[in-house]
Each structure stands twice: as structure tokens, then as C-alpha cells.
């Protein structure tokens, strides 16, 4: 039986998969190789880059027009800026891969001698020159994890590839593909020897194109899941298929992880039981609670200042005035944290949930709150009491607690989400919508009660201009979100962050009617 893959490259015999080369523009890749181009393939982690490179290698070698070698140079990361030691890793890996893939032992016999005689600053170029000239068949080189190298080590590899470029294909690889998370032009490389920052584009100005491997399309998600149904008979309900797509937006690791959790873990062995939307939501929660490596690596980036500059105004629903650079934005998009399309927003609902939970998880544990305090005799959730309690808590504690957040601009919204998460997590779940320029943060509480789910909207806005205008805008936005989510009740929260206002003027509770005739509870804080 095949299974859903969440670790390493896909193997078609073992894993359900979308054929890797179907996700590339293979016609363009072939043209670039034919035209002797050097180019970049980049994408976020665990998107399928390595699988695509390995499949491309096997295709080219099977056609026998080229000799193609894939090499992963991540091992050089541990040597940091020790150029000689990094070159030992790179040349040793090249020799090993050539021997395993092509049965070619040429580099095995010469690379150490070349390193000794030519030195680390020329050894890679010399080795590739001799190796290319040793066989009339053009050499294609696929270098994975190029951005694992740093500083002078990375500069040395890039500059040696550039130095031999004019000798291709007789005396240098016909085509080189550099693969990593980011485009090489976006590298800002600190050279310890030169005590300067070098732009990747200047160190490797022979790059012809930059290709980005995207996420799965909705059709590809359904095709992947259908393979499991075809082989086992276990079906995904239409709601489950829609939920997987909505929650992941096609991010390959997330799709496979949700499917693996619902189909193969925690006793999910009865193939007569369909996979439901409820099971998918439960699987999502398990992934988050386990702090899976994929999610943990992503949230670790939140500590970086350039990430904070982009993510913080997204979390707060801030205005469209940008306080970050294009390079900041490109970086978080290359990480896969922020979507490519406008308005700028977190890439998918799972990441959108993980980010605030990661930023507040320590604080959640400190809240002296229990879920049972807000559960009524019919097992329903008393949202009005919950909001009233938060309002009191916010007045008494917000100034102290918000200062503890690294993301203070989004502090009120994060504090509310942490408070709600502490209560809701024991029975329901929270869905979130926020984005730069939205001027609001949307929260949807989904609470199971018997055979049905009850939904409550909480709309958060920061007071701008006048209170009445902010409330008027918020009422219509709350109603629109209620209507879209089929929620039974709505709450509008107005955060007044003006320092010259006293709490007795900020705190209020009112029931208003939107222009659409729907009653909405308004909370001032």
C-alpha cells in the first residue's frame, strides 16, 4: 500500500504523488538546458523541489543526450565560512553522486589532488572543467540546497561557476540549475574576508531565468487524494475535500500531512469509514499541537526582524502604508509564509492559525481561565459572557501584557486571540482572516453542540478617525462576514489605542443594528 509522504522526496512506488515534472514547465526547462542556460529553481521548504530535480535527472539520463548529476550540498552548512572545508564537502558529494548515478569514477580519482594543488578558490572550477572535458556528452549539474551555504563559502561556489561559464559545454557544464528557497538575486551575502555585503545577483550574473515551483492546484489536491480512494476504497466526503483545500491552499506538505493524519494515524484503519471535514479539522489541530517540524521551522522565522516588519501589520489588519521593503516582502513570500497575491495575507488558514498561536502560546498558559466557566447547561458556549470577561481582563491587564509581545502593533488582536484560544481549544476551533489594508481582523468561533455547529463572528477594528465612523464601518463588515459564514451572532470589538484617553471613556458595551437590519454586539476597549 502506498501512503502520503511528509518526509523527503517522493517515490512513486511508495507514495501517493503528483508526478513532479507535471508541476514544472518542462518545455521551458528543456529549452533552457538545450540553450546552455544557467538558471534557478526556488520554492518554500517541503514543496517538492528535490523531487522535481531527481525526476528531471532521471529523465535526462534515460534519454542519453546528456549526463546529468544531482548533488545536495547542505552538508557544507556546518563548515560555515571555512571555504576549504566546504569545497571538500562539495567535491566529495559530486564525486559520490557521479559514481552512484552514472557509474563515473572520474572525480573520485582527481578531486582531492585538485583541491590540494589549485586551492579552495579554484578547485570546483578546475574539477568541473576536467570532468566536462572527459566525456563528449554534455554535463548538466543540479545543485540542491545552494542557500544552505553562507558568506565566503557561498560566494566561492557562485564565482567559480561564473568563472567557467564561457567554456561550456566542452570544458564546463552545459547547464547548471541552482535550487533553494530563495532566488539567487535576493541573496545578501556577508563576506567575512572583504568585510562587505555582496549581492547574489552580482556574484552570479550569468543566471538566465528564475523558476518558482508553486503549490498544488485544487485539481491536483483532489487527484492526490483520489489515489488513496482508488487503492483502498476509502472516500473523502465533498466537505472534507473542500476543507483540505481551504485549510492548506494546496501547500504540498500540509495536504499530505492532513491526509496522512486522517487516513493512517491514531487508529484510522477502517477503510469503510469516510474521511469527514470534522476529521480534517481534528487532524489540523493535532499537527499544530505536535509542533511538526515543518510548522516549527516556519514559526521560528517569526523572530526575525524583516519577517516581523511584514507580518505584524498583516496580523493587525493595518492600513496599506508600508513600513517594510520589497526585499522584506520577497523574503517572507519565498519562505511561503505570505501569499503572492494582493492584498498581502498569510498564505493559508493553517499558517494563519499557527502564527498567532505561536506568538502567544506561553501567555495562553498563564491565563486563569477555564472552559467550563463559559459552557451552559445545554452545552452551548456563552460568547457574551466570554467577551464581557475579556473586556474586564483587557482593561486591567492589557498594558502590561501587550508589552510582552514582540509584535506590539498587533498586541490587542493577539491578546484577544490568546484569550479565546485558551477557552475554545477544549471543544471548538477558531478560524481567522486578516490581511494588510483590510483595516480589521475577522475571527470565527465554531462550537459543536450536539449534531450541529454553532458559529459566532468576532470582528476587531482599531479606532481611527471618529468612534461613530469606525463603528459604522465595522457593523457592515461584521454583517458581511456573518452572512458569508452563516453565523448566528456577531460581535464588533473596537480597540481604542489613543494614549490620552482614560479607560472609563474607552470601555463600553452597546447593541447596534447594522444597515442590513442585523443586531450586533459592540464592545469598546
- Give me the DSSP letters along 259-317: HHHHHHSTT---TTSPB-HHHHHHHHHHHHHTT-HHHHHHHHGGGSHHHHHHHHHHHHT
Q: Kindly report the pTM of this predicted structure.
A: 0.91
- Return the pLDDT at 319: 66
Q: What was the pLDDT predicted at 404?
A: 81
Fold (CATH) for 218-290: Helicase, Ruva Protein; domain 3 (1.10.8)
On whether the CB atoms of residues 354 and 299 are closer than 8 A, the answer is: yes
237: number of Cβ within 10 Å: 15
Write the DSSP string, 205-273: TTEEEEEE--PPPHHHHHHHHHHHHHHH-PPBPHHHHHHHHHHHTT-HHHHHHHHHHHHHSTT---TTS
The CATH architecture to which 19-212 belongs is 3-Layer(aba) Sandwich (3.40)
pLDDT at residue 320 in the model: 60
- Contact between residue 447 and residue 424 where contact means Cβ atoms under 8 Å apart: yes
For 439, residues 6+ apart whose C-beta sits below 8 A from its C-beta are 317, 318, 319, 461, 462, 464, 473
Per-residue pLDDT tens over the stretch 44-85: 999 999 999 999 999 999 999 999 999 999 999 999 999 999
In sequence order, the 6+-apart residues with CB closer than 8 A to the CB of 500 are none
Q: Where are the domains of the chain?
A: 19-212, 218-290, 346-524
Q: Which H helix or E strand runs over 42?
A: strand 38-42
- 8-state DSSP, 520: E
State residue 500's pLDDT score. Answer: 85
pLDDT digits (tens, 9 = 90+) for 330-357: 999 999 999 988 888 999 999 999 999 8
Distances, alpha carbon 345 to alpha carbons 318, 335, 351, in Å: 11, 13, 10
pLDDT at position 118: 97
Residue 370: predicted pLDDT: 86
Q: What is the mean pLDDT of each run of 10 residues along the chain (525 residues)?
A: 94 96 95 97 95 98 97 95 96 98 96 97 98 97 95 94 96 97 81 76 83 96 98 96 98 98 84 92 93 90 93 82 84 93 91 92 77 92 96 91 86 93 88 82 92 93 91 94 95 92 93 92 97
In eight-state DSSP terms, residue 347 is: S
Residue 109: closest CA among 131, 124, 84: 131
pLDDT value for 321 = 66
* Residue 136, number of CB atoms within 10 A of its CB: 8
Amino acid at each position: 500500500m502506498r501512503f502520503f509522504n511528509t518526509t523527503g522526496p517522493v517515490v512513486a512506488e511508495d507514495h501517493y504523488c503528483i508526478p513532479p515534472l507535471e508541476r514544472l514547465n518542462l518545455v521551458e526547462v528543456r529549452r533552457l538546458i538545450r540553450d546552455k542556460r544557467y538558471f534557478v529553481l526556488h520554492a518554500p521548504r517541503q514543496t517538492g523541489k528535490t523531487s522535481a530535480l531527481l525526476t528531471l535527472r532521471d529523465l535526462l539520463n534515460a534519454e542519453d543526450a546528456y549526463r546529468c548529476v544531482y548533488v545536495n550540498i547542505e552538508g557544507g552548512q556546518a563548515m560555515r565560512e571555512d571555504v576549504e572545508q566546504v569545497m571538500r564537502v562539495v567535491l566529495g558529494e559530486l564525486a559520490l553522486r557521479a559514481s552512484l548515478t552514472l557509474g563515473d569514477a572520474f572525480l573520485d580519482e582527481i578531486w582531492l589532488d585538485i583541491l590540494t594543488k589549485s586551492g579552495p578558490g579554484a578547485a570546483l572550477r578546475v574539477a568541473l572543467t576536467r570532468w566536462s572535458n572527459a566525456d563528449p556528452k554534455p554535463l548538466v549539474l543540479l545543485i540542491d540546497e545552494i542557500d544552505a551555504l553562507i558568506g565566503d563559502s557561498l560566494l566561492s561556489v557562485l564565482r567559480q561557476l561564473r568563472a567557467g561559464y564561457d567554456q561550456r559545454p566542452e570544458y564546463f557544464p552545459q547547464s547548471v540549475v541552482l535550487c533553494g528557497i530563495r532566488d539567487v538575486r535576493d541573496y545578501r551575502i556577508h563576506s567575512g574576508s572583504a568585510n562587505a555585503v555582496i549581492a547574489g545577483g552580482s556574484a552570479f550574473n550569468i543566471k538566465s531565468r528564475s523558476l518558482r515551483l508553486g503549490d498544488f492546484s485544487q485539481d491536483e489536491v483532489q487527484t492526490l487524494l483520489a489515489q488513496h480512494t482508488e487503492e483502498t476504497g476509502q472516500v473523502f466526503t465533498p466537505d472534507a475535500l473542500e476543507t483540505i483545500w481551504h485549510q492548506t491552499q494546496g501547500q504540498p506538505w500540509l495536504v499530505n500531512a492532513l491526509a496522512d493524519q486522517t487516513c493512517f494515524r491514531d487508529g484510522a484503519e477502517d477503510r469503510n469509514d469516510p474521511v469527514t471535514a470534522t476529521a480534517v479539522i481534528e487532524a489540523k489541530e493535532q499537527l499544530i499541537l505536535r509542533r511538526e517540524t515543518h510548522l516549527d521551522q516556519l514559526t521560528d522565522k517569526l523572530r526575525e526582524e524583516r519577517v516581523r516588519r511584514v507580518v505584524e501589520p498583516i496580523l493587525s489588519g493595518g492600513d496599506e502604508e508600508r513600513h517594510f521593503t520589497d526585499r522584506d516582502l520577497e523574503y517572507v513570500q519565498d519562505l511561503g509564509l505570505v501569499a503572492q497575491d494582493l492584498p498581502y495575507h498569510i498564505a493559508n488558514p493553517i499558517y494563519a492559525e499557527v502564527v498567532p498561536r505561536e506568538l502567544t502560546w506561553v501567555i495562553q498558559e498563564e491565563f486563569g481561565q477555564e472552559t467550563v466557566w463559559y459552557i451552559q447547561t445545554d452545552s452551548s458556549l456563552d460568547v457574551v459572557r466570554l467577551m464581557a470577561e475579556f473586556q474586564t481582563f483587557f482593561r486591567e491587564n492589557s498594558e502590561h501584557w501587550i508589552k510582552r509581545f514582540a509584535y506590539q502593533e498587533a498586541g490587542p488582536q493577539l491578546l484577544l486571540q490568546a484569550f479565546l484560544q485558551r477557552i475554545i481549544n477544549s471543544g471548538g476551533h477558531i478560524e481567522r482572516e486578516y490581511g494588510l489594508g483590510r483595516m480589521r481582523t475577522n475571527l470565527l468561533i465554531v462550537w459543536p453542540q450536539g449534531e450541529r455547529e454553532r458559529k459566532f463572528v468576532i470582528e476587531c477594528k482599531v479606532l481611527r478617525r471618529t468612534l461613530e465612523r469606525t463603528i459604522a464601518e465595522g457593523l457592515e463588515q461584521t454583517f458581511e462576514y456573518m452572512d458569508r459564514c452563516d453565523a448566528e451572532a456577531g460581535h464588533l470589538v473596537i480597540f481604542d489605542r489613543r494614549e490620552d484617553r482614560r479607560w472609563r471613556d474607552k470601555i463600553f458595551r452597546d447593541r447596534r443594528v447594522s444597515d442590513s437590519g442585523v443586531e450586533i454586539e459592540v464592545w469598546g476597549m
